[in-house]
Amino acid sequence: MELFAATYNDTPFISDGFQINGTLDVELLFKFNGWPFGIEDLEVIPIFHLLSCAEPDLNQAMPVPEFSPGSRPDTVTTHLGADILTRRCRFVYAVEEIHFSRCSSQFTVSAEQKDYESIVFS
């Protein structure tokens, strides 16, 4: 899994009482190694974990990101408060679960340290 795009927009980010004046749209690309029913049958759910911020905000907790299908079949997207850009926040991410629609089943990925990617927004 890798970062595909990160785009700032000036739409306020509001989630569970958390409000910031801008939004960072983050899109992650996952590797598709083939599945008999095609990529459209898959729902990929990443773990996206905040490690630290150079300038923490102790006044409010950051909401856990929720992912949805991205702009391409092999991407997922989420929205974050744009304040992470000025706070220099570091995240790690990897594939956590894969859901198969046609089989009505899911597969949990036991990601190892080497499977995680890291990103710092600044």
Domain boundaries of the chain, sorted by first residue: 2-121
Whether 96 contacts 57, CB under 8 Å: no
- If one counts every other C-beta atom within 10 angstroms of the C-beta of residue 100, the result is 14
User: d(Cα 79, Cα 6) in Å, to the nearest integer?
Assistant: 9
pTM of the model: 0.88
Close Cβ partners of 4 (under 8 Å, ≥ 6 residues apart): 27, 28, 29, 70, 72, 75
Closest CA to 5 of 22, 29, 31: 29
Quick one: pLDDT at residue 45? 94
Q: What is the pLDDT along the chain (122 residues), one digit of tens a residue?
A: 999 999 999 999 998 888 899 999 999 999 888 778 888 888 999 999 999 999 988 887 788 899 999 999 999 999 999 999 999 999 999 999 999 888 888 888 888 888 899 999 98
